[in-house]
Amino acid sequence: MTYSLDLSKEYRYLLGVSGGSDSMMLLSLCVKERLDIVVCFVNYKLRESADLEEEIVENYCKEHGVKLYKDYPVQNDKGNFQMWARNVRYEFYKKVYDQENCDYILTGHQMDDHLENYLMSLERGSHGWYYGITYKGYHHGMKILRPLLKYRKKQTGEYCIENNVPYHDDESNFTDHYTRNRIRHSLIEPADDMQIEQWLKEIEILNACQQEMLERFEKQYGETVSLEDFRNEENKEELLRWLIWKKDATASYSSEYIEDIVNTMVNSKRNGFVPVYNGLEVVHEYGVLYVLEPAEPYSYTFDEISYFSTEHFRLSNTGKTIEGVTLSPEDFPVTVRTGVSSDTIELRYGSKKLSRFFIDRKIPRKDRKVWPVMVNSAGEVIFIADIGCDKSHYTIKPDVYVLKLK
């Protein structure tokens, strides 16, 4: 059998190589086809064979004059190892990708991986916007290609043996401790060609339907959807997935989880939000629904009257009366920071709480998270955007104006 990658020689590629048959076949074909490549290897030092795999990759790269980068990350907490490992691996890849001016990253995913992802999603009742694995992808700001998707897992091993390419497959892949392994051993490996073709056809049909629905959503909806339109949408679960997917294409949720959120959106009579994956929030308020990304709190401190601009506000020497504040030497250092709901300001007609102001003005949650508030050296709130300054800092000639940026 003839094996090829069908990749252009005009690009520079980064390869994530583990030492297994899939990635070693990929590396070997890249060398044979004289592609412009650099290799990354990550050793977590958690298996005895990890050093053997490192040696295999290192020796092969030396023999063929391929530049190799290695990393030895250590997990400092007891969180999800798989999630942590994937994240640090791609952060390492990204660093090398930028340093080496690469155009694409190549991974050794093959057809069995594609089928495993599909069958796992069916078993778990979860999916994103694509069943299986895409040939092209995007991760950590890198463009990804998976040129081995046309080959079966057994073919990668056969290739390595036929071409004297050394490899060592992770021994944990041969157990049934993980759902992926169980599906691979009990369903995919014993499947005949007819079954494989049937699964591939199912994936093709499902992905075509998903793409058609996505295109309809793109035409019909923006990033903010009225709750009335949401309630009238026949495919509410898919619409919610799409809104989340636009903010984070890596997120995957079970049907039950999505259904629970949809029920909350449809039946709730009050404003609210539901926190989801990676700090995202599904917000329903004032007749609309949208997915909100996490906002970084900010804080800027200065020792004298200053005029400068940030992403969320601008300090200026001109502005409207409500935007002005007069500062005294005792106020410094002064800080402009992200407002919190408990912030309270003393006005000429009484105190005003920021949370009450948000409710009265129907301020969207996305704006509440980055609302500018000024405090003096004593920690007193002396200015809140769109409310104004407190009673002791008001004059007809303010010396600084705080302009909230949209």
Q: What is the DSSP string of 287-347?
A: TEEEEE------EEEESS----B-SSEEEES---GGGEE---GGG-SEEEEE--TT-EEEE
What band does 177 get if pLDDT is binned at 50, 70 and 90?
A: low
Average pLDDT over residues 358-369: 95
CA distance linking residue 394 with residue 385, whole number of Å: 14
Kindly tell me if the per-residue pLDDT of 174 is higher than 60: no
pLDDT of residue 86: 86
Same domain, 271 and 306: no
Dihedral in degrees, nearest 10, Cα atoms 143, 149, 150, 151: 140
Q: How many domains are there within the chain?
A: 3
For the whole model, what pTM was predicted?
A: 0.67
- The residue out of 192, 214, 231 marking a domain boundary is 192
Instruction: Report pLDDT for 35.
Output: 98
pLDDT at 257: 87
For residue 377, give its domain range: 299-404
What is the token pair recorded at 255? 């049907």
Percent of the chain's residues with pLDDT above 90: 78
Residue 85 belongs to some domain of the structure: yes
Q: Residue 176 pLDDT > 60, yes or no?
A: no
Q: Dihedral (C-alpha) 103, 108, 109, 111: value to the nearest 10 degrees?
A: 120
pLDDT, residue 90, reads: 92
Q: Which of 156-165, 246-255, 269-278 has the lowest mean pLDDT?
A: 246-255
Q: What is the CATH number of the domain that holds 250?
A: 3.30.465.60
Mean pLDDT confidence for 240-259: 84
Task: Give the tens place of pLDDT for each residue, 65-102.
Answer: 999 999 999 888 777 787 788 889 999 999 999 999 99
Instruction: Flag whether 356 is in a domain.
Output: yes
Residue 78 lies in a domain: yes
The answer to whether the CB of 334 falls within 8 A of the CB of 379 is no
Same domain, residue pair 62 and 182: yes
The predicted structure's pLDDT at residue 178: 65
- Examine the pLDDT at 139 and tell me if it is beyond 90: no
